[in-house]
Chains A and B, each alone.
Chain A
Amino acid sequence: MDKYVPVAGNGLLDRRAFLRGGAALAAAMTGYAIKPAAAETLSDPEWSNEPGTLVPPYGVPSKYEKGVVRTLSNPNAEPRTQHARTPHHRLQGMVTPNGLHFTISHAGNAEVDPERHRLAIHGLVKRPLVFTLDSLARYPMVSRFTFVECGGNSAPLFSPEPIQANVQALHGLASCAEWTGVKLSTLLEETGIDPKAKWVVAEGADAPRLSRSVPLSKILDDAMVALYQNGERVMPGQGYPMRLLLPGWEGNMNVKWLRRLQLTEVPGMTYYESRTYSQILPNGKAYRFYFIQEVKSFITQPSVGLAMKAPGFYEISGMAYSGNGRITKVMVSADGGKSWAEAALQEPVLSKAFTRFRIPWQWNGGPAVLQSRAWDDQGNVQPTRDEIVAHRGVAARVPPVLGFPSQHFNGITSWAIDAKGEVRHVYA
């Protein structure tokens, strides 16, 4: 029965307890016998006594799941950015369904006719070329799972006080999909590269012609023009019919509705890189070209809004990822960081992709503070919130729930659970 003995404070159990199988879980429930379901007489419901409905040409989730949707920051499409956040607390596994992948569009979703869309590659190349979607779709393709995360995801944690919002509001601007497309190194072999080129300015076909400068080295390393998302064509909010995909790098740089790549010797200092996605530091300077989405994790279950009904067994689960590589370890605490236990990592564990972690927990019904902390294979460890704030500063005022006081927050998130099982966001 050793495997059901808590391995860290406040009831965290060995992550291997269930992988080994075997003995009845009830043995672990010292003091809290599982109540059997209330006795009831089973009968056939109506759906078992009549034929079902028409099978639709494009399947959608059950009508009972209609609450599992993205939240919209700008539901009336006023003239400003629109954000749609992923409901992490309602999902499992590592892949975000296409309809729930987060989207930020700075001037709405462009409705691109794929027949008339073009991708031009020019500037410091030997042979400027233009591609149609049909021509790109004939190139050798690659697939990879990778997350995309907005540079401003988790920004509410720069607030001087913990904002009471759920994991969707705090961390919903990150998602993970299998992307399929053509490696940019393949296309640049055909254009040729002028030796003077060091940067690539990418531009979208949307109304602001959103543009960002990317080091040529990243473009040649693992960048692709993505045409497919989880097997189907890239969704409109992800840049249909094609987007730039820069695994592990700041979401805004993954230019959607990609139509132009201009090779240059210097960065463009575009609006979005020299103003919007720059981060003010305590000394008055600002980071520009942050590039990397650093190692991060957060617990999705339990979390704010998912009240726990009674003491007993729960699985703590969440997401870990790093723009620098592969997740190697996630530690979980149930006592606000006093003691930690290692979580199980769900296979597959892939570089620059979401990694689902899980650990069994025996909640004794008392106060608890849940935290997770991730490590990656490049030696990076997720910082505490105190460590980030010491380096980056804190907002002068409590921002709106969906505000962006700064960007690139990858510190630890803490969920406090009270004796009623209610979950609150706290700083611990």
Chain B
Amino acid sequence: MCTHKVLLALAFACGPAFAAGPNLGTPISRAELAAWDIFVLPDGTGLPRGSGTMAQGAPIYAQKCAHCHGEQGKGGISAALVGAPPIKSLDSPKTIANFWPYSTTVFDFIRRAMPWQQPRSLTDDEVYALTAYLLALNKIIGEQDVMSAQTLPKVKMPNRDGFIPRFPEKMPPGPEREM
């Protein structure tokens, strides 16, 4: 009788999944995940604290980005980051200003992947500053605008509505399927 109660309590505490499979994963807390949990969604979910401006971004860009992307984002051994050449054909260059649909992707990609030789070496403030610098050079935000978790998701990119899914039936329900 006593044993029965203990088993029942165990099963209740661990839930049905515990009984079924190999259960060789280890539960992980949000704090333990923090260093990897950097993903930013278009609505701003996942953006960290901090902020930055074009003025703060300019010297960081000159020191850490211009080597590949050219002065003021004009392009070098890597793609130009400034400019919106018209999209005329399928092989037109896709730039932040003429193509990227979400401002959050600029922040997310700089933070996860840049600079090329030392990804994740920038502080969150530096990533905000570089994001502000590139968006302002592209005249998508004003030169004085401060980018932060509150302001960045509100920046509407020029080409936000320029996309359609190839096979809508393969898309989960949501606005992306209806485009």
Contacts and interface: CB of A to CB of B under 8 A. Distances in A.
B partners with A: yes
Interface in A284-330: 284-292
B91 A270 contact: no
Given A207-B116, A215-B172, 14 more contacts: A122-B37, A191-B25, A208-B109, A208-B119, A209-B119, A269-B102, A282-B90, A286-B164, A287-B165, A292-B167, A394-B90, A396-B91, A405-B90, A406-B91
Contacts of B22: 138-140, 190
B35 to A, nearest CB: 11
A259 interface: yes
B61 interface: no
Interface in A357-416: 392-397, 399, 405-406, 408
Interface in B4-55: 15, 17, 20-30, 32-33, 36-43
B108 A289 contact: no
Interface stretch (B93-101, B122-130, B133-141, B142-150): B93-101
A377 B159 CA distance: 37
B172 A216 contact: yes
9 contacts: A191-B25, A209-B38, A271-B109, A280-B89, A281-B90, A285-B162, A289-B165, A291-B167, A395-B90
A274 B101 contact: yes
Chain A's interface size range is 35 or more
Contact of A209 (B24, B112, B165, B166): B112
Contacts of A262: 37, 39
Given A79-B77, A122-B28, A129-B26, A395 B89 contact: yes
B173 A198 contact: yes
B171 interface: yes
Contact of B116 (A107, A281, A392, A396): A107
Contacts, number: 195
- In the A-B complex, the 3 residue pairs with the smallest Cβ-Cβ separation, listed nearest first, are A129-B25, A208-B113, A405-B91
A139 B41 contact: no
A203 interface: yes
B19 to A, nearest CB: 11
Contacts of A291: 166-167, 170
B78 interface: yes
A288 B165 contact: yes
Contacts of B41: 264, 266, 268-269
A231 interface: no
A289 B162 contact: no
A127 B27 contact: yes
Contacts of B94: 275-276, 278, 280
A130 interface: yes
B90 A289 contact: no
A385 B112 CA distance: 38
Interface residues of B, number: 58
A354 interface: no
Interface in A106-123: 107, 120-122
Contact of B39 (A201, A279, A286): A201
Given A79-B68, A286-B99, A291-B170, A278 B26 contact: no
A408 B167 CA distance: 13
A247 to B, nearest CB: 14
A97 to B, nearest CB: 31
A271 B108 contact: yes
A13 to B, nearest CB: 38
A278 B163 contact: yes
A271 B110 CA distance: 10
A199 interface: yes
Contacts of A392: 90
A122 B21 contact: no
A85 B28 CA distance: 39
A406 B165 CA distance: 16
B24 to A, nearest CB: 4
Contacts of A138: 22, 24
B155 interface: no
A243 interface: no
A281 B36 CA distance: 36
A377 B102 CA distance: 38
A399 B90 CA distance: 12
A260 B113 contact: no
Of the listed residues A122, A138, A259, A276, the one surrounded by the most CB atoms of chain B closer than 10 A to its CB is A122
Nearest to A273: B105
Given A120-B36, A266-B41, A290-B166, A129 B27 contact: yes
Given A79-B77, A274-B105, A280-B92, A285 B164 contact: yes
A189 interface: yes
B162 to A, nearest CB: 5
